[in-house]
């Protein structure tokens, strides 16, 4: 079962989608973003397809680092055709930098340094 919740929100872009909003997704294997301007660094990759949950292939343009107001996200996939930013619960947990807690009605991600 995939669980998602918002972990950061700033004003929406003119397209109606906020490039600053990230969805916390327990079903995502990797952090993913369509917004190249949100990356502090990115290494371009040849167009390798990434399969979505429904089996749709989307080209991977690069991998890089994104800092949000709430999280620092390494190894973020740049996928220009994606519609929103996805933060992988698995990657956040595996980093060892954050505690991830779920309850019946919410999810909490806490920086272990604070």
Q: For 16, what's the count of Cα atoms within 13 Å in the CB-facing half-sphere?
A: 1
Residue 94: per-residue pLDDT: 93
Q: What is the pLDDT of residue 15?
A: 42
Residue 18: pLDDT band with limits 50, 70, 90? low
Phi and psi at 10, nearest 5°, equal -125, 175
- Give pLDDT, residue 13: 37
Label residue 106 by pLDDT band (50, 70, 90): confident
Task: Work out the pLDDT band at 48, boundaries 50, 70, 90.
Answer: confident
Please determine, for residue 5, whether its predicted confidence score (pLDDT) is greater than 80.
no
Average pLDDT, the chain: 82
Domains, the chain, in order of start with CATH, read: 4-111 (2.40.70)
Q: What is the mean pLDDT of residues 80-87?
A: 93
């Amino acid at each position: 079962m995939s669980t998602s919740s918002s972990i950061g929100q700033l004003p929406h872009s003119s397209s109606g989608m906020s490039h600053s909003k990230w969805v916390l997704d327990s079903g995502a294997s990797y952090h993913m973003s369509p917004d190249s301007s949100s990356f502090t660094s990115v290494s371009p990759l040849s167009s390798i397809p990434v399969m979505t949950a429904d089996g749709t292939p989307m080209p991977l343009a690069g991998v890089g680092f994104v800092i949000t107001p709430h999280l620092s996200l390494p190894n973020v996939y740049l996928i220009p055709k994606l519609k929103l930013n996805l933060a992988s619960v698995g990657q956040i947990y595996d980093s060892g930098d954050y505690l991830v807690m779920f309850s019946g009605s919410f999810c909490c991600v806490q920086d272990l340094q604070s």
